[in-house]
């Protein structure tokens, strides 16, 4: 049986207007809001529902507590091999999230790592508080990001800076993320209050125009990347079956440094 209350969903009606926006709050605080498969499916389901709504026009995604999302759930990855990766329902969940036509805003405080960073990169605007930290540390586990994070980040910040994060394993703070163009807004008093006002403002704009504008932005940034992202996903699935992945995940869970052998 799955965990309860992993995703808090709230619709906010804008007073005096026939419009609303929604908040999706990730609530796995003991796991630093790590994204397991069930939770990712809940996010995708909620976005599908809001996309069919006649009133909801924008969606805010945030994390309960101190963190946005500290990555995927490592316990799920531990025993997952290549075949399981190929059949992984997460691929469809990620696809539905990226295909959501509504403007998405990520409010990021604390850790935004791995799959959490990939989720934020799928949003159209990122608001970061001063505690925000961004990274793609999957190579520490013998893996790579499998949901388009490398490609989106490289398009956003360029090869040199993407290399520092993906290959060098750097975790960048909010100030650096702002300087590099990863985030859209800095919020000195925490991301959520600023992001809520921003999302409401988006909800008051012409909804069909906003959806068309989002479609154009995504297409401009990502159409050349579709083939590359497919190859990256295949590489991710292949890595699931390696001894290095088993060592990396086991070392992480044992809280020790991994010893990789290239196998």
Give the mean pLDDT of 229-235.
68
pLDDT at 146: 86
pLDDT at 235: 72
pLDDT at 1: 45
Q: Which of 59-68, 79-88, 110-119, 146-155 has the lowest mean pLDDT?
A: 79-88
Cα–Cα distance for residue pair 126/128, rounded to 1 Å: 6
Q: Look at the alpha carbons of 50, 190, 7, 73 in this order and tell me if their dihedral is positive or negative.
A: positive
pLDDT at 3 over 80: no
107-134 burial code (b ≥16 CB/10 A, e <16) = bbbbbbbbbbbbbbbbbbbbbbbebbbb
Q: Which residue from 222, 211, 220 is spatially nearest to 52, judged by alpha carbons? A: 211
pLDDT at 19: 93
Cα–Cα distance for residue pair 34/43, rounded to 1 Å: 13
State the pLDDT confidence band at 242, using cuts at 50, 70 and 90: confident
Strand, coil or helix: what is 89? coil
Size of the chain, expressed as the number of residues it contains: 263
User: So which residues are the catalytic ones?
Assistant: 72, 115, 118, 138
Cα–Cα distance for residue pair 56/12, rounded to 1 Å: 8
User: To the nearest whole number, what is the mean pLDDT of the chain?
Assistant: 90
Give the mean pLDDT of 168-174.
97
Tell me the whole-structure pTM to 2 decimals.
0.89
pLDDT at 4: 65
pLDDT at 96 over 90: yes
Within 142-259, residue ranges assigned H as helices are 149-157, 159-166, 174-180, 191-203, 207-222, 226-239, 243-254
CB 245 within 8 A of CB 142: yes
Q: Which helix (H) or strand (E) holds 133?
A: strand 133-135
Q: Which of 11-25, 67-81, 195-209 has the lowest mean pLDDT?
A: 67-81
CB 19 within 8 A of CB 50: no
Give the mean pLDDT of 226-246.
73
């Amino acid at each position: 049986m799955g965990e309860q209350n992993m995703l808090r969903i709230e619709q906010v009606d804008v007073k005096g207007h026939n419009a609303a926006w929604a908040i999706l709050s990730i609530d796995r605080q003991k796991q630093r809001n790590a994204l397991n498969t069930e939770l990712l499916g809940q996010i995708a389901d909620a976005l599908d529902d809001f996309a069919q709504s006649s009133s909801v026009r924008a969606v805010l995604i945030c994390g309960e507590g101190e963190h946005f999302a500290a990555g995927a759930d490592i316990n799920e990855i531990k025993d997952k091999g290549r075949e399981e990766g190929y059949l992984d329902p997460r691929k469809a969940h990620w696809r539905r999230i990226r295909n959501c036509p509504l403007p998405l805003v990520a409010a990021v405080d604390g850790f935004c790592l791995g799959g959490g960073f990939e989720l934020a990169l799928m949003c159209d605007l990122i608001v970061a508080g001063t505690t925000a930290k961004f990274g793609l540390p999957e190579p520490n586990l013998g893996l790579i990001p499998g949901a388009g994070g490398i490609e989106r980040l490289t398009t956003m910040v360029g090869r040199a800076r993407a290399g520092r994060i993906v290959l060098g394993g750097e975790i960048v703070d909010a100030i650096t993320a702002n300087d590099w163009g990863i985030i859209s807004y800095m919020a000195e008093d925490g991301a959520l209050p600023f992001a809520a006002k921003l999302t409401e403002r988006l909800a008051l704009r012409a909804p069909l125009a906003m959806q068309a504008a989002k479609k154009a932005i995504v297409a401009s940034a990502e159409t050349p990347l579709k083939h590359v992202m497919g190859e990256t996903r295949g590489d991710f699935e292949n890595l699931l079956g390696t001894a290095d992945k088993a060592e990396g995940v086991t070392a992480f869970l044992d809280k020790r440094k991994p010893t990789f052998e290239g196998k």
